[in-house]
Chains A and B, each alone.
Chain A
Amino acid sequence: MKVGVLALQGDVREHIYALQTCGTEPITVRRVDELNSIDALVIPGGESTTMALLAETFGLFKPIQKRIESRLPVYGSCAGMILLANRVLDATEDQRTFGGLDITVRRNAFGRQVDSFESDLEFQGLRASMRAVFIRAPWVEEVGPEVEVLAAVNFHGTDHPVAVRQGNLLATSFHPELTQDYRIHRYFLEEVCRVGSRIG
């Protein structure tokens, strides 16, 4: 299985390292021919506005949408979650996303950088808890009926989903690639990609 990391901007290097540690040989994806050669895609953390603009400028936007529709397994962290969401709150006026996940995401929901934090988190499907790093992170405000919530964070008395899955799509508002704990990447490769390819 060939995994790609969308390399328009963001913490590409950390995802590449995480995927290598999990025993794959990932490639970077900046062009359509690279996109067409992969069996799974990771969208890294970074600035969602920058990535969307570059994807559009270099003709990657529609091809990524098409591959998501044809059930390419995709994992997005932070900005990646925003780009996979069908609906975005607190977005710029003309902000577009690839979409695919039937969720509404709120950008910078936990606040600005001074509010960025790390926290212990229970992730469904992993036996132990994990340390999750949230950087100007979004949260999920609404989920559609087919979306499974895998983890949530309590913020001022309300639980907000921070990890979701819908079929071939997985998204977290935190950054497992910044820790040495790559169980989410493994979960993506072993669970999400397997199911995705079976259906596909």
Chain B
Amino acid sequence: MSEAVGTGRVKRGMAEMLKGGVIMDVVDATQAKIAEDAGAVAVMALERVPADIRAQGGVARMSDPDMIEKIKAAVSIPVMAKTRIGHFAEAQILQNLGVDYIDESEVLTPADYENHINKWDFTVPFVCGATNLGEALRRINEGAAMIRSKGEAGTGDVSNAVTHMRQIWAEIRRLSSMREDELYVAAKELQAPYELVKEVAQSGKLPVVMFSAGGIATPADAALMMQLGADGVFIGSGIFKSGDPANRAVACVKATTFFDDAKVVTDASRGLGDAMVGINVADIPAPHRLADRGW
């Protein structure tokens, strides 16, 4: 064996390096620099943060390549970008641009309501959203090298993120308690490949890194998701839709590292100005809920 790019180890390993960190949504080079200076482990380059996609409506697509290039040039940390679910041509463009991770994201308008992208076809790694263990394992089976448990993006309401993180861990714990001969039925019920189900049952965790995303807006939200078992957090609208993005960004980074130390999270929560206004998920009619996209 000699040199090999795009191997499973290289793709999944990249996500391991992000653990314990915050990945921030940014819409231009200035925001990207603020995120890097605040200690973000990566930035997600997109044209509109989820709160604006929600407010403005319309079809949400991959970002302009020029805008992604500018953000890449502005920072030394990894740059991620979103593709629509199933839109492998957008993903090919993003790979060609040299982004470090592609998010096949329900926040954008899906391009395919049946199939996700065959992520094994790419050397760039993918992160995908999941609301439950079956969905996570189906994405991993398609080649996802990282999972983010979904919340309701662009709301500032953390409740969906909590529900889905708890759901995924509850299902993992359930698998770990099963006899080996029960895993066949479990695989059928989860609609996931038996081999992956067995691996999760034995190891007691997903085979890839799992971050939390969607509705995280405060240091306490970040600490909550970390204590519930996230390896790290994505913060979308929560930072740059708040009153003082630079300070809030630093505060969320601190709270993610010291998630189990209430004193540090308390200090990080002081003097941050206004949080994003937010929308209660319960007030959003079901057809407009982003987390329900994906299958």
Contacts and interface: CB of A to CB of B under 8 A. Distances in A.
Contacts of B123: 114
Interface string B9-22: 11001101111110
B100 A136 contact: yes
B257 A119 contact: no
Contact of A114 (B20, B40, B41, B124): B124
B250 to A, nearest CB: 8
Given A9-B21, A47-B17, A135 B10 contact: yes
A116 B19 CA distance: 18
A24 interface: no
A46 B41 CA distance: 8
A165 to B, nearest CB: 23
A117 B4 CA distance: 5
Given A8-B20, A114-B124, A50 B39 contact: yes
Interface size grouping (class) on chain A: 35 or more
A30 B258 CA distance: 8
A54 B40 CA distance: 11
Given A50-B41, A117-B4, A45 B257 contact: no
Interface size grouping (class) on chain B: 35 or more
Given A12-B20, A46-B17, A117 B41 contact: no
Interface string A124-156: 000000010111100000000000000000000
A92 B10 contact: no
Contact of A10 (B19, B76, B100, B258): B19
B273 interface: no
A115 B1 CA distance: 17
A53 B39 CA distance: 6
A137 to B, nearest CB: 10
Given A10-B20, A115-B5, 13 more contacts: A9-B21, A10-B21, A47-B17, A50-B77, A50-B253, A53-B39, A54-B254, A54-B257, A118-B4, A133-B13, A135-B10, A136-B100, A178-B13
A19 interface: no
Interface string A40-66: 000001110110011001100000000
Nearest to A48: B76
B20 A92 contact: no
B101 interface: yes
Interface in A153-198: 175, 178-179
Interface string A1-29: 00000011111111000000000000000
A78 interface: yes
B100 A113 contact: yes
A90 interface: yes
Contacts of A131: 1
Nearest to B3: A119
A8 B257 CA distance: 6
B3 A11 contact: no
B36 A49 contact: yes
B229 interface: no
B14 A113 contact: yes
Contacts of A118: 3-4, 7, 9-10
A120 interface: yes
Contact of B2 (A46, A114, A119): A119
Contacts of B14: 113, 116, 135-136
A92 B76 contact: yes
Contact of A54 (B7, B19, B98, B253): B253
23 contacts: A7-B20, A9-B20, A9-B21, A9-B41, A10-B20, A12-B20, A47-B18, A47-B41, A47-B42, A50-B21, A50-B39, A50-B40, A50-B41, A53-B37, A54-B253, A58-B258, A92-B76, A113-B14, A113-B101, A115-B5, A118-B7, A133-B9, A133-B10
Contacts of A134: 10
A133 B8 CA distance: 11
A45 B39 contact: no
A81 interface: no
A117 B5 contact: yes
* Residue from the set B13, B18, B76, B124 with the largest chain A CB neighbour count within 10 Å: B13
